[in-house]
Amino acid sequence: MNKIVDPAIPRHVAIIMDGNGRWALGRGLGRIFGHRKGVEAVRRTVDAARESGISYLTLFAFSSENWKRPPDEVDGIMELISSFIHRELDNYHRQNMRFQVIGERSGLGPKVLNALEVAEERTRNNTGLHVIVAVNYGARGEIAGALRALARQVAEGKLDPADIDEAAISGNLDTAGLPDPDLVIRTSGEQRLSNFLLWQMAYSELVFLPCNWPDFNRELFFEALSEYARRNRRFGALAEPQVALTDT
């Protein structure tokens, strides 16, 4: 069944979930408590996303730069990701949700990798909310990987360099086949992109929220959607049909 497309509702929302550490530090707690609370915010956000009618939700769970953090914190985040999947998979599968992972899988431990791949495999044919989890993801690395794949095809004589266009690059990214995000939300008050979906974000609307990720909730999600609905997306064109002015 075709969905009615309402231009005021983004099709794809991507979120940089920032501020877990600051949330915890502000309460005299260890950083991992912030990440634990962050998982509760993930649950609320998935529920809100299903309710909102968006089709795709991408969550930046772990960047390729996050390996620079202390091993305890890295292990803690990986553990939270796999336990989240173990707890929610049956429920999300029943709700017809689809899971997909983007990022460099080779760097991941077997436990988290297995959880992510089981979730992908089991929900592959689902047609409801499509949740994309970015784990060990970095946009520059992703773009370099796409260019390597294209170079290989040229070297093998399967691709003419003249045919390397924007669609060819998009089609070789981890996000091949997914629509670009219409709306990108970042929490914690920081206003930067942190190597997230750089190619895909060319025309995304950006919303920066002052709250830390563990405080993110349904109301803030819908406020961000309202802010998006007020934006005037032009994609380089003009806002309104222009009436030619003539001297009379």
> Which residues are designated catalytic?
18, 66
CA distance 76 to 20: 13
Please tell me whether residue 101 binds ligand FPP under the rule CB under 6 A.
Answer: no
- Give whichever of 128 and 171 is closer to ligand FPP, judged by the CB atom: 128
For the beta sheet containing 130-137, the strands, ordered from the edge strand earlier in sequence to the opposite edge, are 98-102, 130-137, 56-63, 12-16, 183-186, 205-208
Give yes or no for residue 80 binding ligand FPP (CB under 6 A). yes
Q: Shortest approach of ligand FPP to residue 169 CB, angstroms?
A: 27
- Smaller CB distance to ligand FPP: residue 75 or 159? 75
Residue 44, φ and ψ in degrees, nearest 5 = -60, -40
Q: Interface residues for ligand FPP in 112-151 (CB under 6 A)?
A: 133
Residue (150 or 184) nearer to ligand FPP, CB: 184
The yes or no reply on residue 81 touching ligand FPP (CB under 6 A) is yes
**In whole angstroms, what is the distance from residue 100 CA to residue 5 CA?**
23
Of 15, 32, 39, 129, the one binding ligand FPP (CB under 6 A) is 39
C-alpha distance across the termini of the chain, in Å: 53
Binding part of the chain for ligand FPP, among 18-26, 94-102, 108-116, 151-159 by CB under 6 A, reads 18-26
> Least distance from C-beta 203 to ligand FPP, angstroms?
25
Q: Cα–Cα distance between 113 and 110 in angstroms, integer?
A: 5
207 SS3 class: strand
* Residue among 213 and 228 whose Cβ is closer to ligand FPP: 213
Closest CA to 104 of 95, 114, 113: 113
Secondary structure element (H or E) that encloses residue 15, with its range: strand 12-16
Residue pair 187/167 in contact by the 8 Å Cβ criterion: no
Question: Cβ of residue 185: shortest distance to ligand FPP, in angstroms?
Answer: 13
x/- mask, ligand FPP, residues 179-218, rule CB under 6 A, reads: ---------x------------------------------
> Which lies closer to ligand FPP via its Cβ, residue 126 or residue 153?
126
Q: How far is the CB of 66 from ligand FPP (least distance, A)?
A: 5
Distances (CA, A) of 119 to 84, 113, 132, 247: 11, 10, 11, 65
Contact residues for ligand FPP, defined by CB under 6 A: 17-22, 35, 38-39, 42, 59, 61, 66, 77, 80-81, 84, 133, 188
